[in-house]
Amino acid sequence: MSKAPVKPAEEGAPAPKSKKKLIVIIVAAVVLLAAAGGGAMMFLGKKKSSDKKEEHKEEHAKAPVFMPLEPFVVNLQSDEGDKYLQVQMTLQVEDDAQVNLIKANAPQVRSRLLMLLSSKDANEVLTPEGKEKLIQEIIEQVSLPFVPKGEPQKVSGVFFTSFVVQ
């Protein structure tokens, strides 16, 4: 088999491609990278400023004020014989002024809660739904004004620290 002779480069061959195309590609890449970097900085900059706003909002949030109550022991309504409820709870109130107001009227609060708790059926307070309903009723009773046409107390939560039905 014969090999084809190698031809020397022709003198009329076109010149190598110009470097203009290469320069245009490099400039386009630099512009694209700059745009991507600027977009990333804007995105991250907005993220940081929103984080600062969230931190600022958290600083203004008041710490909760809790007020533990003395334990209650009441007879429950039951068809199955004598049932007792022993419960200890803590109230969450708006501020120390509310704590002082409730403490000053503690006999009235205690009476309201004893009446409420003793009116409950044993099976009713054993379910999670029954306990949630009881929490709402306790909030309503404690929030009632102590004097006619008075301001209601600002109770935002009730937390059971002990809850025993026997």
Whether the pLDDT of residue 50 is over 80: the answer is: no
Confidence class for position 33, pLDDT limits 50, 70, 90: confident
Pick the CATH number of 65-165 from 3.40.50.2300, 2.60.40.10, 3.30.479.30, 3.40.190.10: 3.30.479.30
- Domain positions in the chain are 21-61, 65-165
119 backbone φψ class: left, alpha, beta (φ>0; ψ -120 to 50): alpha
High-pLDDT (> 90) share of the chain, %: 50
The mean per-residue pLDDT over the stretch 143-154 comes to 90
Give strand pairing partners of 159: 90
pLDDT in tens, 64-109: 899 999 999 999 988 888 899 999 999 999 999 999 999 999 999 9
> pTM score, two decimals?
0.62
